[in-house]
Amino acid sequence: MKNNKFYILMSLLVFVLLLAACGNEDEENAEQTDETNNEETATNDDQDTEEETEAMERTLTDAMGNEVTIPAEPERVIASYLEDYLVALGITPVAQWSVGDGASIQNYLEGSLADVPTIPYDLPLEAVTSFDPDLIIMDSAGMVEGNKYDQYNRIAPTYVIGSEENNDWRDELLEVGKIFGQEEKAEQVLADYEEKATDAKEEIQAAIGDESVAALWLVSNTFYIVSENLSSGDVLYGDLGLSTPNVVTEISASSEANWSEISLEKLAELDADHIFLINSDKGTGSEMLQQDIWKNIPAVKNDNIYEYESTTSWLYTGPIANTQMIDDMLADLTE
């Protein structure tokens, strides 16, 4: 009996020890499995992060055929004379276009660019370098003629929007949207503008019918008239479908400029019923407005002159500038 009890106790002890050993092995295996899983998860997370970064950094081909690697999240952008598009998409550049050491800027954007320093319009290399940009966007191929592209590209990835001197602003908006991966937002900005222009067209034409409209810019006692298809002319005659004076059509046919000088002889032939006057001479007397040639224009005789300063959006183009012009025209032509 004693021997039996001894063997039974020994068997139980061995059994307990075996169970304990198995338990320890299971715990060790479980810990090893957890460590392996954690390492694999961390590795996968690192790979996912790298893949996400690579996905955000894109290579696009610009208007000149350059393959440009766009930073994942560009934060220091220089896009001289394209600020209208940036602001429309909620992007603030590191520097803004200016003329005359900052004396002239796109004032109509100052609500969004008030604290943004200026850079000369011709983008001197030293000035560009001083802002340490991570992306440079050029309006046209003319801005990077010769070896300028390579020089800018050494400073930061450089993307050229259009091949022409005057590119369609709608195309430029969508192209800027593509650069920043904001295609949908750019399309929405454009759709909102088209809707506004369509509504304004109906309202204005209901108010003035087929009466003709012109836009003139007076600077240094010289008149310039807007092109039929560019700048504010594109809004007047393209988007709003307003009647074009013959002189505007004639001058536009022989000029590629946004604004072309108009001689006194041609000014005398201007039979516009309404004139939007951008007056840069307002502070210096506006002598030309006292001339008989000016006073004999139908719009002047009928007091249909709508005067604006050069700091307004009338000399520029883009979704914001054009929207502001439409607001001005609605206020002046439908009152």
Q: What is the pLDDT of residue 198?
A: 98
pLDDT tens track for 164-219: 778 899 999 999 999 999 999 999 999 999 999 999 999 999 999 999 999 999 99
pLDDT of residue 163: 84
Q: What is the H or E stretch that residue 16 is in?
A: helix 2-56
pLDDT at residue 38 in the model: 54
Q: What does the angle CA 136 – CA 166 – CA 316 come to, to the nearest 5 degrees? A: 80
151 and 275 co-located in one domain? no
Q: Which of 39, 56, 73 is the last residue of a domain?
A: 56
> Are 225 and 89 found together in one domain?
no
Please identify every stretch of the chain with a pLDDT value under 70, giving residue numbers as ranges.
Answer: 1-55
Question: Which residue, of 11, 32, 56, is where some domain finishes?
Answer: 56
The verdict on 102 and 172 lying in the same domain is: yes
Instruction: Please count the structural domains in the chain.
Output: 3
How far is the C-alpha of 176 from the C-alpha of 139, rounded, in Å?
10
Q: Which of 56, 80, 97 is the last residue of a domain?
A: 56
DSSP secondary structure, 305-334, as one string: EEEE-TTSGGG--SHHHHHHHHHHHHHHH-
Q: Is 89:185 a contact under the CB 8 Å cutoff?
A: yes
CA–CA separation, 37 and 180 (whole Å): 38
**Long-range contacts: 323-331, Cβ < 8 Å, 24+?**
323/193, 323/196, 324/108, 325/232, 325/235, 326/196, 326/197, 326/200, 326/235, 326/239, 326/240, 328/276, 329/200, 329/204, 329/235, 329/236, 329/240, 329/276, 330/200, 330/203, 330/204
Query: Helices marked H in 209-286 — which ranges?
Result: 231-233, 246-253, 264-269
If asked whether residues 128 and 44 sit together in one domain, one would say: no
Residues 319 and 214 in one domain: yes
Claim to verify: residue 205 and residue 262 sit in the same structural domain:
yes
At residue 55, the pLDDT reads 60
* Same structural domain, 254 and 322: yes
pTM: 0.83
- Judgement on whether residues 141 and 161 belong to the same structural domain of the protein: yes
Per-residue model confidence (pLDDT) at position 72: 93
Query: Rounded to an integer, what distance in angstroms lies between the CA atom of residue 69 and that of residue 153?
Result: 11
Residue 32: what pLDDT?
A: 57
pLDDT digits (tens, 9 = 90+) for 237-271: 999 999 999 999 999 999 999 999 999 999 999 99
Q: What is the pLDDT of residue 286?
A: 87
Q: Are residues 220 and 250 in the same domain?
A: yes
What token pair was written down for 36?
């392996």
* Segments forming the whole domain that contains residue 176: 59-181
Q: Are residues 24 and 83 in the same domain?
A: no
- Average pLDDT across the chain, whole number: 88
In terms of domains, do 205 and 168 share one? no
- What are the tokens at 74? 């560009």
CATH code of the domain covering residue 233: 3.40.50.1980
The answer on 154 and 109 residing in a single domain is yes
